[in-house]
Structure 1
Amino acid sequence: MPTDRLGQTRQLATTSEYGVLGVRDIDFTLERVPVSPDLSSLVERHWLVSWALPPGRRASVTLLPHPCVNLVFDRGQLAVSGVGSARFSYTYEGVGRVFGVKFRPGGFLPFLGAPVAELTDQVRPLSALWGADAAAMAAELGAATDLDALVAVAERYLRAHWPGPDPETARVGRIVRALLHDREITRVADVCERFGITPRSLQRLFHRHVGVSPKWVLRRYRLHEAAARLAEGTSGTWTEVAVELGYFDQSHFIRDFTQAIGLTPVAYAAACQARQAPLSA
């Protein structure tokens, strides 16, 4: 079992480190820390985006979402953000921060008690689930002075609302880890064969627990890596990226990449190399 930078034992990742499009850490800082071990079965990590821009200047960041539900504290409001199916941009100015708790794919179902697909492309107030505790948590997060304090508040409320076990959660986690890490899995049929599940049962499982299809998750993870490698300029040609990520048909890779990112692989790599904002939602 791997250990994080704080020396805590944590589970294998079920979401990538990618998702910010273009060249990262321009005008903002992104910090990620793993959750405490007792919460790691359902929660992947905490994150904090912060910025300090001079007066009169605005900036934006574009993200390609993970197949995860997040609790997001932004501008004093605490919300549940479901899986986003498309890229989106966030515009910011002045001095500010956004704090979040990223659940594992499938990890929010025990808290929600309903199909996670109901939250896909939705943002809802946490108060709909936690009532008055959501307002109390938001007040404490607003008063927190640093990331450690934010994490301490979030984890205290997570423990207070920790749900009972769901027998399918661990199974979903194993499947998602394989989609993220195993390059031999290139099709949904490979997942069905590996885990002994029918395509229809797999679709139902992901609809209920993850909120998007297994094909969507597999494609999104591969596109995250492709965008990151092209942005870093460490990938060789985009043709080589396509092959290494399991695309046997380069035209499919170009189509998927352009649809998700908004630019062709060549245009995206060129924009990143010039350190230009390559796109917006």
Structure 2
Amino acid sequence: MAAPRRDAKGIVDATELFSRVRFRRREPAEPLRPYLEHYWLIDWDLPEPYLTHVVPHPSVNVVFQHSGTGDSGEVAGIGLELFAQKLEGAGRVCGVQFRPGGFRPFAAAHPVSEWTGRRLALDAVFPATAVEGTAARVLEPDDEHARVAALDAFLLSLAPAPDPQADLAMSLVERVRSDRSVRRVGELARTEGLSTRSLQRLFSAYVGVGPKWVILRYRIHEALERAESDAAVDWPALAADLGYADQAHLIRDFTATVGVPPTAYGSGNGGGGSKGVG
């Protein structure tokens, strides 16, 4: 499997965020790599609060957080809106980002759409015996390798079962992410020998959102990354490259997702550096 991604797709004002926190991605144990994108670790000690934002990926996350109120863990289903989180004082987060389609083998009794737009305590999704004491084991070590080992141990204890449908869902989402020519749900279904309805059912059960949503979200990630890196983006050309009928449709989707139009974001880095990643 490939090493953890190094891009900042989905992160709003990534440069500002990385100047304030220690953010890194780590690789899981070999048996877990077919299901996981990576682990993500954040530590901070801030003199003043910082508001962070992220345009969520079509991925379920398991998130462990250490704060003044103690250690906690939760399952975060796919976020449908721009996610905001205030960071203040000193804190630590250890997260697991699953591949789109990769979470279902760990919680096979429920369609992934059941968790979409929701954040739930670990024991609402996994057996209580598996999660007891896990947050402390993950968050308390100062040694980063020990935190990763605790994440590995927790996920391996859930004994994910091989599932060909999960494999299919993961491969289809990866195709959407990497192949810009995939622009229509019907075309994706036909090239895979599926009916549109079968494709939609697969995505609901294993990804948590529909294929149209995934296509749109990866377009916005691409546009956001371009706005971050290039103050002189050719928006009409980018709209055509991403499969939009015209620039107006890209601007509408970008504004609805990120909260500001792309031209304002590009010139102001998301409103004067007030946005980052959760």
Normalising by structure 1, what TM-score? 0.89
| Structure 2 unaligned spans of 5+ | none
Between the aligned partners of 1:52 and 1:224, the Cα distance in structure 2 is 28
Q: Is the 8 A contact 2:57 2:78 kept in 1?
A: yes
Between the aligned partners of 2:60 and 2:134, the Cα distance in structure 1 is 18
Amino acid at match of 1:71: V
Q: How many pairs does the alignment contain?
A: 270
1:1-80 → structure 2 map (5 Å cutoff): 2=2, 4=3, 17-24=8-15, 25-54=18-47, 57-75=48-66, 76-80=71-75
Over aligned residue pairs, what C-alpha RMSD do you find? Answer: 2.3
Q: Is the 8 A contact 1:47 1:99 kept in 2?
A: yes
Residue 181 (1) aligns with residue 178 (2): yes
Q: Is the 8 A contact 2:13 2:270 kept in 1?
A: no
Partner residue, 1:109: 104
Partner residue, 2:81: 86
Residue aligned with 2:63, SS: strand
Residue 146 (1) aligns with residue 138 (2): no
Distance 1:31 1:205, change over 3 A: same
Residue aligned with 1:168, SS: helix
Q: Is the 8 A contact 1:109 1:209 kept in 2?
A: yes
Q: Is the 8 A contact 2:239 2:247 kept in 1?
A: yes
Q: Deviations over 1:47-82 (max 9, x none)?
A: 01221112xx11111011111111100131011110
Amino acid at match of 1:131: A
Normalising by structure 2, what TM-score? 0.90
| Structure 1 unaligned spans of 5+ | 6-12
Distance 1:74 1:200, change over 3 A: same
Distance 1:17 1:194, change over 3 A: farther
Q: Deviations over 1:131-178 (max 9, x none)?
A: 033122112113221332111001012111122222201111110111
Per-residue deviation, 1:88:
1.4
Between the aligned partners of 2:146 and 2:277, the Cα distance in structure 1 is 32
Residue 245 (1) aligns with residue 252 (2): no
Per-residue deviation, 1:265:
0.9
Q: Is the 8 A contact 1:105 1:173 kept in 2?
A: yes
Percentage identity across paired residues of the two chains: 36
Amino acid at match of 1:66: H
